[in-house]
Amino acid sequence: MGRVEGKVALISGVARGQGRSHALRLAEEGADIIGFDVCANNDVVAYPLATEDDLEETGRLIEKFGRKSYLRKADVRDIDAVKSVIEGGVTEFGRLDIVLANAGIMPTIGDECLLDSAYYQSIDVMLNGVYNTVYPAIPHIKAGDRGGAVVITSSTAGLKGTGDGTSGVLGYVAAKHGVVGLMRAWANAHAADRIRVNTVHPAGVNTPMILNQAFTDYVESHPEILDNVKNPLPTIDGLIDANDVSNLVLHLVSDEGRFTTGATMTVDAGFTNKI
């Protein structure tokens, strides 16, 4: 029996990267998946975002574990669209137990990071988007009267004042710090209903957010970045694997994490601990 057998998880940014990794790890452990992704590019992001083909592939991979999925194209900035996905998925599966507010962008490279809109888009996607995902989902968890778990994807940038002070970096850091405040408030507000809320703070992860030509080109012209993000523990090419984050998420949403709430959980190869 899987560690989340029979449960239903909602995941934003599910089409690829960490979102897909989390979906597959939870499906492997017995969960059905409700998910959404914007499946469109963003003008302040220098690299291509996920596509509808990516979203469909996530669904096919979930099915290989014998689980079901309800995946839709939706923009995390649009709360009505998110509500529609949540309501459709809960109607389909009859319950909701887990929420992973994972959708994110990295407008921190290229000329795009200098735009004022890079700051505002960061806040809209990664702070307001977390609210848009979690707030309308909690009543559905409560309705089951079984408790539940929420995990918000923050970053090492949510614990340290990192970066070069450009608009995109400031927006990223502000959003990743801001979700910690949301997490702590929700953890207190919903503890009596046995709903646990935590943030995870990864170091750089080997996903398309980093493994793209735009990022490679930016690092080549700004090699000092590699020194700034170097992890104390040895990692492959300086990155952790998405599955390392998924394993932590699985722990937090399963019964193994039943008494963990209000916590900022790192999976960062020692990055936030270094001087």
Query: Of the residues 120, 135, 172, 218, which is catalytic?
Result: 172
Q: What is the Rg, in whole angstroms, of the alpha carbon atoms belonging to the chain?
A: 17
Q: Which residues contact 70 (CB under 8 A, 6 or more apart)?
A: 32, 33, 34, 35, 85, 88, 89, 92, 93
Reduced to 3 states (helix: H, G, I; strand: E, B; else coil), residue 156 is: helix
Q: Which amino acid, residue 263?
A: A
E-assigned strand segments in 20-96: 32-37, 69-73
Residue 189's CB: how many other CB atoms inside 10 A? 12
Closest to 78 measured CA to CA, from 97, 58, 103: 103
Between the CA of residue 264 and those of 97, 128, 132, 155, 208, what are the distances in Å?
20, 19, 21, 10, 24
- Overall residue count recorded for the chain in this entry: 275
Tell me the C-alpha distance between 209 and 105, whole Å. Answer: 7
Reduced to 3 states (helix: H, G, I; strand: E, B; else coil), residue 72 is: strand
Closest to 212 measured CA to CA, from 51, 103, 52, 49: 49
Tell me the C-alpha distance between 31 and 166, whole Å. Answer: 40
Residue 226: is it exposed, middle or buried by C-beta count within 10 angstroms (0-12/13-18/19+)?
A: exposed
Clarify whether 120 is annotated catalytic: no
Active site residues: 172
